[in-house]
Structure 1
Amino acid sequence: MLASSVLAFLGVSALVIVTPGPDTAVTVRNALLGGRAGGIFTALGVSVGQTVWAFATSLGIVALLVASEPLFLAVKYAGAAYLVWLGVHALRSAWRPGEGGQGAFTARPARRLGRGAAFRQGLVSDLGNPKMAVFFASLLPQFVPAGQPAFTTFLALGLVFSLMTFAWLAAYSIAVAKAGDVLRRPRIRRTIEGVTGALLIALGLRIAAEQR
């Protein structure tokens, strides 16, 4: 019974993780701006955020958050605002005029994203996503076998989910970094930044407008 629960959890987790969302968009953008290290540190920030959600779930804090409408809305709107802010920043970078004043998509050296900033963006992106609270609070209890201690089982499942997420997003980062010479050409980089910025804004607005 325990083995079947673990396998079912791994299958559901893999499906959730590979579905693109805010964390994926932020990771891909940061891998483009900061290379492999930028993407991997973003993935690390996302994983640490998920570990926090898992620990909070084990303590019952997430259940209180989900049950409290004001707290849930505060997290939702803060997370949505952060995604919109990142999206606007990406659009500004994509369309910022070049040094020669020739307009958008002109050659201009891009400022490289630091590891600390990449980690922070990944962490805040995940902690500001209320779907993670709902996911951990509603899904994890379904995979806790009868007779198993809830705290340690919740935490173990959450850590497994976090490690799987890190592996997947790190693979994304490596793929983007390998194609970096092409993707970081000024015109292509700014096009991708524009598309990613629009996507982040759309995701933020969707999160803000979604019902539970």
Structure 2
Amino acid sequence: MLDVINLADIALVVSVFAIGAASPGPATLMIVKTAAEQGRMPALILSVGIVCGSVFWGILAGLGFVALLQASAFWFTCLKMAGGAYLLFLAYRAVRSAMTPGAVLKPGDERSAAPWHASFLKGLFVHLTNPKAPLVWLATLSIGADHGSSPDTMALAIFACALAAMAIFTGYAFLFSTRSAMRFYQRAHRPINLLAGALFGAIGVKLLSSKAGLATSAG
């Protein structure tokens, strides 16, 4: 019931989640790169896909399935392997983009932008294969569940976090798809893509080589 919902707990959960979502990570890096490289609309659609993937893990965390995933070394390792492999693929794409002449769009030119469904699925997949995402949801929601919160509280917390994620990720899409940001990216796309490739590759290798453990970033 609504009258048993602790709004202070909801605010705390959303605050912790927002800090994690806004911190640099594969999702935020992908949004920034897409916004500056392809424009606003592909970045916004990518953001929606990322948020949908995040909400999927949030619902599973609320239902307790993520705890089972964390307890299963085999399935958690499979998730880490898939995430690491996908990040290495993104690293390859970023380096290839850096080495390809004329791969960057000019401001206002979206003729080479990816189809909307491709952008959405890319965002969805990067979050579904991010092993940090389910564990961060589990840790975040546990903050509001310490005092035996009701199902209404859990549902509202997930909904509020989803709104926060949408605001944060679409905010990045708007910010980095401005004409000035796109012009800067056009001039510096090679070192930026090489840096993005290095970061994607480093995170991917870390996932493939590390042991299962609780993560601390949702992005």
TM over 0.5: yes
CA deviation map 1:73-100 (0-9, x unaligned): 101110111011011111011113x4xx
Answer yes or no: is 1:18 the counterpart of 2:44: no
| 3-state secondary structure, aligned to 2:113 | coil
Aligned to 2:217: none
| Residues 181/24 of structure 1: CA separation in 2 closer, same or farther (3 Å cut) | closer
CA deviation map 1:3-36 (0-9, x unaligned): 3212221221222122111110111111123210
Aligned to 2:166: 166
Give 2:93's match in structure 1, choosing from 85, 89, 98: 89
Q: CA deviation at 1:181?
A: 4.2
| Residues 79/155 of structure 1: CA separation in 2 closer, same or farther (3 Å cut) | farther
Whether the 8 Å contact between 2:45 and 2:116 is mirrored in structure 1 is: yes
Aligned to 2:51: 47
- Alignment-mate amino acid for residue 163 of structure 1: L
| 3-state secondary structure, aligned to 2:39 | helix
Whether the 8 Å contact between 2:35 and 2:173 is mirrored in structure 1 is: yes
| Residues 7/184 of structure 1: CA separation in 2 closer, same or farther (3 Å cut) | closer
Whether the 8 Å contact between 1:86 and 1:197 is mirrored in structure 2 is: yes
Counterpart CA distance in 2 for 1:40 and 1:53 is 20
Counterpart CA distance in 2 for 1:120 and 1:108 is 21
Counterpart CA distance in 1 for 2:23 and 2:103 is 33
- Alignment-mate amino acid for residue 7 of structure 2: A
Answer yes or no: is 1:56 the counterpart of 2:60: yes
Aligned to 2:124: 123
Whether the 8 Å contact between 2:10 and 2:156 is mirrored in structure 1 is: no
Aligned to 2:82: 78
Counterpart CA distance in 2 for 1:3 and 1:159 is 13
Q: CA deviation at 1:180?
A: 4.4
Answer yes or no: is 1:157 the counterpart of 2:157: yes
Could you tell me the percent identity over the aligned residues? 27
Counterpart CA distance in 2 for 1:26 and 1:108 is 16
User: CA RMSD for the aligned pairs?
Assistant: 2.1
Counterpart CA distance in 2 for 1:160 and 1:170 is 15
| Residues 129/200 of structure 1: CA separation in 2 closer, same or farther (3 Å cut) | same
Aligned to 2:109: none
Aligned to 2:108: none
Paired residue total: 201
Answer yes or no: is 1:65 the counterpart of 2:66: no
| Residues 82/3 of structure 1: CA separation in 2 closer, same or farther (3 Å cut) | same
Structure 2 unaligned segments of length 5 or more: list them: 106-111, 214-219
Farther off after superposition, 201-210 or 60-69:
201-210
Counterpart CA distance in 2 for 1:71 and 1:109 is 39
TM-score by length of 2: 0.82
Q: CA deviation at 1:210?
A: 3.3
| Residues 18/109 of structure 1: CA separation in 2 closer, same or farther (3 Å cut) | closer
Q: CA deviation at 1:140?
A: 0.7
| Residues 130/181 of structure 1: CA separation in 2 closer, same or farther (3 Å cut) | closer
- Alignment-mate amino acid for residue 68 of structure 2: L
Answer yes or no: is 1:37 the counterpart of 2:37: no
| Residues 148/182 of structure 1: CA separation in 2 closer, same or farther (3 Å cut) | same
